[in-house]
Amino acid sequence: MFSENLHFFEKLSIFLIETKIPHEKIKFLKNTISLKGGFIVTNPSTADVILTILKSPARISRYIGSETRKPIVSIEWVDKCVSKGARIEFVDYLIRGIEEDAMDWTTVEEEEEDQDLFDEDSNSSSSRSPIYTSENEHSDDGRDVDLDPRFLNTSYECLRPTPLKPKFNAKLVELLEVIERAREVNDQWRNALSYRRAIAVLKSYPRDIISHKEIKKIRGIGSKIGYQIESYLRTGTITEAEHILQDKRFHTLELFASIFGVGFKTALSWYRKGYRTIEDCKNHPNLTKAQQLGLQLFDDLREKTLPQNSPFSKRRMSREDVEEIYNIIKENVKKLDPGCVLQPVGGYRRGKELNGDLDLIISHPDEERVPSLLNDVITTLTEGGYIKNLLYRARSESRTGIIDHLEKCFVAFLQPSTQIKRQVDFIIATQSQFASALVGWTGSRQYERSLRRYAKREKKMVFASHGLFTNTKPRILIPTSTEREIFDILGVPWLEPEMRNC
């Protein structure tokens, strides 16, 4: 996936034992093999390699007869090749090598034969293979488990509570988030979106997933992600995610895309030019204004962490850091105009311990005061020595003087106690815009997406962070004054900000 060599199965003939492999997975395997230049044969004796999910040698021998000279390999080998983007050695995936003595087989044969009779159709728990065991007890016993009745099986995340840290399925969520990020840096936002929806499901699911039959009933988890989860239940990990974490290209792309002013497409294009370090990026000829700033402030906004985790991570603020900055701003703004109303939003409001920035809505009961508010706030804080750089500014002055969207400004704010420049996002809202700004800027991103999709598809309304509208032309504003009122009109349940972490 991260390297370019296709056709890594070129001219490889493969005999696939389809037994016990989920239907979707069979399609995926056949598709992958032919896509990569290999081909499926129907006779094991003409195959270079035999693929199976089965573990019992006795069972396997039923499908390959007396053919004992061919390597028999777990289908996970194919997954490994796909994630590596290359044909890798199958030594680690051999179920039976070509050298092995057939005698060892017959010993296990009898006890396993009997089990096979029960295995055939069944929901009974199957014996565990050595290659599938791990230190943790992961149980995918294949039982037909009903979904937990407390779980709302909807494709709209905004209809069910999602905590910041999942009580269950935490490791699985972590692994899927790795794949989500990999899809993002590879500019596959639709795939990333699917992973995000699946992650949101697992974060809100009220117990650990224990069976792959349970998974498939959940809206948002289909065959591919379902298979990843199934594999996780067997092995305790997801090979693709483990691979991504080893992949230097992935980490470099994440690093580049973490520069302010550099998105996934630019990160990819720079990588293709051969850039590998921040220094390389600084030498790029046509840097935009934003990118120049982003590179200049990179060490402030970012920090190298322990090489065990991803080698670079955002220099995040504790809640105390955020509060320190918030109190300074509040003091200065109140001094400027006591009528101002300040409301921290974003991840901080959702309860995050570590925050990449501070998002702050500033409002004022007097609509006349609002248009000049941002300038005054910026000026005061700049003169106070706090604001060191302006990163981005959206003005909202229309000819008629009517503000139809939110004025906002992102700045680099010098935190006194640490002397680190922190990103602060100011959002200006009139009183009539305040409620929607609150909903719109509290997030999470996925919560916003689902709320907006729900509003449009189920209620024929359009929600934006400056207001709720009818989905007509022209759009008609539906006045709202509180968060709860917006939820009521949309018919979505009230969720505490801490439960909007999808």
Tally: H helices and E strands in the chain: 20, 15
Least gap, CB of 399 to DNA (angstroms):
14
> Is residue 423 a contact partner of residue 416, using CB atoms and an 8 Å limit?
no
Q: Which of 336, 291, 297 is nearest to 315 (CA)?
A: 297
For 108-112, which contacts have Cβ atoms below 8 Å and span 24 or more sequence positions?
Answer: 108/56, 108/57, 108/58, 109/57, 109/58, 109/61, 110/58, 112/56, 112/57, 112/58, 112/59
Question: Contact letters (x/-) for DNA, 402-421, by CB under 7 A?
Answer: --xx----x-----------
Residue 398 CB neighbour total at 10 angstroms: 10
Residue 422 makes contact with DNA by CB under 7 A? no
* Interface with DNA, residue 443, by CB under 7 A: yes
In 3D, which of 58, 35, 176, 187 has the Cα closest to residue 114? 58
List the one residue from 62, 167, 393, 460 that touches DNA (CB under 7 A): 393
Answer for the pair 339, 369: CB distance below 8 angstroms, yes or no.
yes
Query: From the CB of residue 153, how many other CB atoms can be counted at a distance below 10 Å?
Result: 14
> Hey, which residues between 31 and 60 contact DNA (CB under 7 A)?
none
Q: Least distance (Å) from DNA to the CB of residue 147? A: 12
For DNA, the binding residue among 132, 195, 250, 298 (CB under 7 A) is 195
**55-63, 73-81, 392-400, 488-496 -> range binding DNA (CB under 7 A):** 392-400
> Of 200, 170, 194, whose CA–CA distance to 182 is shortest?
194
Q: How far apart are CA 164 and CA 205, in angstroms?
A: 13
Which listed residue (47, 94, 172, 198) binds DNA by CB under 7 A?
198
Q: Please tell me the distance from the alpha carbon of residue 152 to that of residue 163, in angstroms, as a whole number.
A: 14
Q: Which residues are annotated as a binding site for Mg(2+)?
A: 357, 359, 425
Q: Which of 193, 210, 328, 477 touches DNA by CB under 7 A?
A: 193
Residue 256: count of CB within 10 angstroms of its CB: 25
Size of the residue set binding DNA (CB under 7 A): 63
Q: Is 100 exposed, middle or buried (0-12, 13-18, 19+ CB in 10 A)?
A: middle
Residues 459-478 within binding reach of DNA (CB under 7 A): 462-466
For the segment 255-284, give every residue that binds DNA (CB under 7 A).
259-267
Q: Could you say whether residue 142 binds DNA (CB under 7 A)?
A: no
Q: Which is nearer to DNA, 214 or 448 (CB)?
A: 448
Task: Single out the residue of 164, 290, 336, 489 in contact with DNA (rule: CB under 7 A).
Answer: 290
Structure tokens at 302: 């970012």
> Which CB sits closer to DNA, 119 or 425?
425
Kindly tell me which residue out of 209, 444, 499, 502 binds DNA, with binding defined by CB under 7 A: 444
Comparison of 27 and 334: residue with beta carbon closer to DNA: 27
Selected from 77, 93, 448, 495, the binder of DNA by CB under 7 A is 448
Q: Which of 87, 175, 425, 428 binds DNA (CB under 7 A)?
A: 425
Nearer to DNA, 31 or 127 (CB): 31
Q: Is 489 one of the binding residues for DNA (CB under 7 A)? A: no
Residues 314-353 that bind DNA (CB under 7 A): 345-347
Contact 197, 220 (CB under 8 A): yes
Q: Name the residue among 291, 121, 53, 200 with its Cα closest to residue 501.
A: 200
What residue ranges bind DNA (CB under 7 A)? 155, 183, 190-191, 193-195, 197-198, 218-226, 259-267, 290, 294, 345-347, 356-357, 359, 392-396, 404-405, 410, 423, 425, 440-445, 448-450, 452-453, 455-456, 462-466
